[in-house]
Amino acid sequence: MRTSQLFIPTLRDNPGEAEVVSHRLMLRAGMIRKVAAGIYTFLPLGLRVLKKIERIIRQEMNRAGAQELLMPILSPAELWRETGRWDFYGKELLRCQDRHDRHFCFGPTHEEVITDLFRREVRSYRQLPMNFYQIQTKFRDEIRPRFGLMRGREFLMKDAYSFDADEAGARVSYQKMYDAYDRIFTRCGLKFRAVEADNGLIGGTTSHEFMVLAETGEETLVYDEEGSYAANVERAELLPPDQEDGADQLPLETIHTPGTKTVEAVCALLQVSPDRLVKTLLYETPAHEVVAILIRGDHEANTIKICRHLGITEIALASKETVAAVSPAPLGFAGPVGLQGIRILADHGIKAMRNFVVGGNKPDTHLKHANWGRDFTVEAFLDLRRAQAGDPSPRSDGRLHEVQGIEVGHVFLLGTKYSKAMNATVLDAQGQEVPAIMGCYGIGVSRTAAAAVEQNHDGKGMVWPVPIAPFHVHLLPLTASETVLKTAGTLYDSLIAEGVEVLWDDRNERAGVKFNDADLIGTPFHLIIGEKGLAQGVVEFKRRKTGEVVNVQPDAVQSHVKGLLSAYDLPR
RNA sequence: CGGGGCGUAGCGCAGCCCGGUAGCGCGCCUGCUUUGGGAGCAGGAUGUCGGAGGUUCAAAUCCUCUCGCCCCGACCA
């Protein structure tokens, strides 16, 4: 493709609207343009990347036995009412009405639509397993779209849904998808990690997230170097301590600690380390129950774990007013000793502690040498805190490490949540009607493109992994001289004939402009043709990622490129 | 939804405090020269100053309302 025939409006300056690197570079490289908050047009170059990713996904989904179909963007309210999600999904579900005042929504996901299809068409366990997928535009009316393609409202997603007659079959279907995802992101040329994840509101029992590793990722993952455990930090399990502190219990001491509201301040004043302190966090449930959570001073509470233990979906730190109603202590001085009428749950790290410091449950007071059991009663010791680097792995003798990631895929074993709600059943071998066991599997296609940039860029621009690069080779004739143009034309034709995707910068621009645009666009290989090289009978091949340059004779270019590309499993 | 910031030429910005000719750089158009890391010279085009009201002889500038965008938080497959 010639640059003169491809709309690539590159920008020299950083657009003011973009903060994160993928957003900035994709705008600058002329890949995307914003239409409204979280809504983008893909320009030709950006679309080529999406299509590459799509091709890899299609191949691997098909190989895994899934069948492609295409569902509508709009779906009728009735289906969503059946599962209760018409109300439950909240404002993220963008709704509209047609001319007959019938209610519809823009699909944020398609469990309802696919389950409706399934129940109408499939009768017998003999037809299973089945797995349907589509690559389609989704709409989620996010509270705050941001970071360009990373969290758009309209985005391209691959979603798949598996149906099985029994749990064992469902696990096989799940594993197939897990393996397919592993191949997909590997083939995309991305560094990623699959981690155990929280099922959240979608329900079900098992889920894994596929995370592209990037410092700018919003998600935090923990893993042990043995490879035995990797999880989203919000999910990461921590085992109870295996031994308790056997020290003698010392007498409780009251200490005057005016103005020391933070863990740091208390530790500085009392000359103790934070791991000798227990903080008392007062949370309020949606039903206005106040719960005290005890966490070691150097640890952080994990609200998702707290919610799971309490069997609720959301919880927030109690307001000043609520705190005042249950404790005479102002914020910063809450403590478990003498706390009346509310549940006290402790992270199991507390179980190993003796003679620790707690808030005094009254103004300007802390207590030293507090002990659970003697000074206050804990309803239960549970896993309530957020994992952090250095914590012991729950599956090995190793320690956990932390790394940032971008969620690009999520696989769920759903169970029967949707099939039961919508009465999607098949007859099993005994002639009994059983609800289908479902799984659902998503890949954010446009987000994968953005994540690839977050992971692969430098000061000059993007550095695309070869399999998803918009082009393989960027052909850069540096002058308009006859020999240079002739060589460029010949090489272009010979590479195109071999199926190599070449972007030929045929603009009458100076070398610097072409180099800078090429670096910005980030095509993996630059084929540079200049007078200097031709005088010595060579053209130059530059690898974008390393800047490494090799001279090649024009005759040898075709085989050289074939050699370079043969190292990759390219989508066809 | 809470907090913060920003809307002035295609892009990046200045001007606003202290009201009085709408500017700079890049880009764009024409011509000539130039051509290995964002060229030079000469000439040229481009603005409902986000929108609506108000104050004023006079509003990009002051006031009120509104719309949009970005960032932080809450939230999130």
Q: What pLDDT digit, counting tens, does each position of A376-398 carry?
A: 999 999 999 999 999 999 999 99
Say if residue A57 is in the same domain as residue A179: yes
Closest CA to A21 of A569, A567, A460, A372: A460
Residue A258, pLDDT score: 87
Domain ends where: A426, A454, A482? A454
Say if residue A9 is in the same domain as residue A131: yes
pLDDT above 80 (res A298): yes
Say if residue A339 is in the same domain as residue A448: no
Q: Is the CB of A458 under 7 A from strand B?
A: no
Minimum CA–C1' distance nucleotide for A507: B35
Minimum CA–C1' distance nucleotide for A480: B35
If you write DSSP's letter for every residue of A348-396 in order, what string do you get? GGGGG--SEEEE-SSTTEEEEEE-BTTTB--SEEE--B---TTSBPSSS
Confidence of residue A293 (pLDDT cuts 50, 70, 90): very high
Tokens of A114: 């696919």
Say if residue A109 is in the same domain as residue A214: yes
CA–CA–CA angle A192, A193, A199 (5° rounding): 125
User: What interface predicted TM-score (ipTM) does this complex get?
Assistant: 0.93
Say if residue A197 is in the same domain as residue A272: no
Q: Are A335 and A366 in contact (CB under 8 A)?
A: yes
Residue A201, pLDDT score: 62
Q: Is the CB of A528 under 7 A from strand B?
A: yes
Q: Is the CB of A35 under 7 A from strand B?
A: no
pLDDT above 90 (res A81): yes
Domain ends where: A454, A488, A517? A454
What mean pLDDT comes out for the span A302-308?
A: 87
pTM comes to: 0.94
The reply to whether A224 falls in a domain is: yes
Residue A467, pLDDT score: 97
Given the structure tokens 């579900």, which residue do they identify?
A: A93
The reply to whether A198 falls in a domain is: yes
Minimum CA–C1' distance nucleotide for A445: B77
Nearest residue to nucleotide B38, by CA–C1' distance, is A513
The reply to whether A393 falls in a domain is: no
d(C-alpha A448, C-alpha A185), whole Å: 9
> Which of residues 326 to 355 on A have a Cβ less than 7 angstroms from any strand B atom?
none
Closest CA to A468 of A187, A87, A271: A187
Instruction: Please state the separation of Cα A333 from the chain's center in Å.
Output: 37
Distance A11 CA to B58 C1' (A): 40
Say if residue A436 is in the same domain as residue A496: no
pLDDT above 80 (res A541): yes
Say if residue A315 is in the same domain as residue A405: no
**3-state SS assignment for residue A2:** strand
The reply to whether A246 falls in a domain is: no
Say if residue A327 is in the same domain as residue A362: yes
Confidence of residue A324 (pLDDT cuts 50, 70, 90): confident
Q: By percentage, how much of chain A surpasses pLDDT 70?
A: 99
Confidence of residue A90 (pLDDT cuts 50, 70, 90): confident
The CATH number of whichever domain residue A304 belongs to comes to 3.90.960.10
Minimum CA–C1' distance nucleotide for A207: B77
Calculate the alpha carbon distances from A303 to A287, A297, A372 in Å.
16, 16, 23
The reply to whether A243 falls in a domain is: no
Say if residue A362 is in the same domain as residue A424: no
Tokens of A247: 């020290």
Say if residue A179 is in the same domain as residue A61: yes
The pLDDT mean for chain A works out to 93
- What is the pairing mode between strands A425-427 and A400-415? unpaired
The reply to whether A388 falls in a domain is: no
Residue A203, pLDDT score: 63
Domain ends where: A354, A382, A410? A382
Residue A265, pLDDT score: 86
The reply to whether A286 falls in a domain is: yes
Say if residue A537 is in the same domain as residue A414: no
Residue A204, pLDDT score: 67
CA–CA–CA angle A535, A561, A54 (5° rounding): 140
What mean pLDDT comes out for the span A364-386?
A: 93
Residue A474, pLDDT score: 98
Q: By percentage, how much of chain A surpasses pLDDT 90?
A: 77
The reply to whether A462 falls in a domain is: no
d(C-alpha A313, C-alpha A310), whole Å: 9
Distance A107 CA to B4 C1' (A): 33
Confidence of residue A572 (pLDDT cuts 50, 70, 90): confident
Q: Are A81 and A147 in contact (CB under 8 A)?
A: no
What mean pLDDT comes out for the span A505-520?
A: 95
d(C-alpha A317, C-alpha A342), whole Å: 14
Say if residue A527 is in the same domain as residue A420: no
The CATH number of whichever domain residue A198 belongs to comes to 3.30.930.10
Protein contacts on strand B: list nucleotides below 7 Å from a Cβ. Answer: 1-2, 6, 11-13, 25-27, 34-39, 68-77
**Total number of domains in chain A:** 3
d(C-alpha A246, C-alpha A216), whole Å: 43
Confidence of residue A202 (pLDDT cuts 50, 70, 90): low
- Residue numbers of the domain that contains A312: 253-382
The CATH number of whichever domain residue A490 belongs to comes to 3.40.50.800
For residue range A557-567, what is the model confidence (pLDDT) as tens digits? 999 999 999 99
Minimum CA–C1' distance nucleotide for A11: B11
For residue range A414-425, what is the model confidence (pLDDT) as tens digits? 999 999 999 999
